[in-house]
Amino acid sequence: MKKNTPMMIGVGVVVVLLIGGGVFIYKKLTASSSDNTVAQQPQKKRITDPVNIVAENDRPYVTVSPKDIHNITLKVNELKKPATSADFELEYQTGTNLEGAVGAIALDHLPAAKDILLGSCSAGGACRYHEEVAGGTLLLKFSGGPDSYTLKQDWKYIENKTRETQFSSKDAYFQIESKDLGLQKILIIYNTPGFPKNLTGTAVSEGYTVSALTPLQGSANVTIRMKEDAPKAVIMGYDGQNWKEFPTKVDGKTATATVNLVQLYVAVKK
């Protein structure tokens, strides 16, 4: 993070309210009278609960996608355990800096979405957009039901300036190659915590969503690293409504397939 001359306040977390958006931006810094481009607000409590304790079958289906070149959309599509709200902490690298946003999503009606600015805005409305965004982690705390639960997953932001055609997830367990993706300016690959309810079989890998500024079209070669040896596993793809099974080759814990470009992939044993 950018470091300024220390004053009376030590290193801490500054939280900034985006006007009308219900999203807070925070960054680790030292307070300085010369760096007052954003209005400082009372610190929002950070989420410190244990993560990923809830059973995989009880986890929600969540997506992260680019809205435009400066905003992303966080969407809770399905819940399996009841909740009325989800607090979030989105962290991401911008060059050598760590930035982030915190806020909440009401879950009264699903799907429920929140747009998040990759930048910061002053009280007067002037905005500074972050550059060299690379992605990071997303922390979600679901509450309002019988039990609260917290999930943490990786997300990767790709600004495809050179029209690359090969990409991987942040954990490198998911690889995708497609000439059609070379036409996309921005891509996000996200390790979604759960799957739509109509998935048949047992997931033997993480689920990975792929999204871009325009709808995905075309085909791709996908490789997924599985959590266990599953010789008969298949790669499944979800287009937002239906699942499709793709002919899959398995070598140890690695599954590969030629697939349609859709929003979600997972390896499944039936």
Per-residue pLDDT at 194: 97
Q: Is residue 202 part of a domain?
A: yes
pLDDT at residue 268 greater than cutoff 60: yes
| CB-CB contact of 26 with 102 (8 Å) | yes
Q: 164 and 270: one domain?
A: yes
**Average pLDDT of the segment spanning 166-178:** 98
Q: 77 and 177: one domain?
A: no
Q: 148 and 183: one domain?
A: no
As a whole number of angstroms, the distance between CA 79 and CA 142 comes to: 10
Q: 92 lies in which domain range?
A: 59-157
Per-residue pLDDT at 65: 98
As a whole number of angstroms, the distance between CA 123 and CA 162 comes to: 36
As a whole number of angstroms, the distance between CA 184 and CA 211 comes to: 10
Domain count, the chain: 2
Q: Is residue 40 part of a domain?
A: no
pLDDT at residue 203 greater than cutoff 70: yes
Q: Is residue 44 part of a domain?
A: no
What's the residue count for the chain? 270
Tell me the per-residue pLDDT of 220-241, one tens digit each, with 9 for 90 and over: 999 999 999 999 999 999 999 9
**If you ran DSSP here, which 8-state letter would residue 41 be given?**
B
**Which residue type occupies 160?**
N
The whole-model pTM stands at 0.83
pLDDT at residue 193 greater than cutoff 60: yes
Per-residue pLDDT at 124: 83
Q: Among candidates 194, 197, 164, 189, which has minimal Cα distance to 179?
A: 164
Secondary-structure percent of the chain, ordered helix, strand, coil, rounded to 5: 5, 50, 45
Per-residue pLDDT at 26: 53
Tell me the per-residue pLDDT of 21-55, one tens digit each, with 9 for 90 and over: 455 555 543 333 333 333 223 345 578 889 999 99
Q: Among candidates 26, 111, 105, 117, which has minimal Cα distance to 68?
A: 117
Q: Is residue 113 part of a domain?
A: yes
Boundary (domain end) residue, out of 157, 185, 204: 157
**Least trusted range by pLDDT, from 7-16, 52-61, 155-164:** 7-16
Per-residue pLDDT at 32: 35
